Chains A and B, each alone.
Chain A
């Protein structure tokens, strides 16, 4: 319930036009990875905290808040098939409603899977809390 924090690297973000889908997220991750490689910028080291409230990311060097995404804004999460150390989620931007796909590089495939499973657990707990509240 209190959430779990993972040390990941934020590779980038791209806009998508659907809230979910394997092909869609694979294409989005491909775009993000290509852009990151082209820019040769080092991925930003972040503390990635998952809880039934949502996902909070902090910049690990400055401790600055980067993203605070409510669990109700997140539609989908996945470990990319091709880049299997990459975890990605799709969320709706609270201000303009656009759908964003954010991708994170994990140290190992196992870590990417652990992040995805933890986010999935947060989805389930949030759903149970929502049903109780309804």
Chain B
């Protein structure tokens, strides 16, 4: 069972058009 805590980042490599 994977009871590890892990999170993926939804903004990974999203460019910021600032």
Contacts and interface: CB of A to CB of B under 8 A. Distances in A.
B4 A75 contact: no
Given A81-B3, A130-B16, A133-B16, A76 B8 contact: yes
Interface residues of B, number: 17
Chain B interface main SS type: loop
Contacts of A124: 10
A81 B10 CA distance: 23
A104 interface: no
B10 A127 contact: yes
A25 B7 CA distance: 12
Interface string B1-18: 011111111111111111
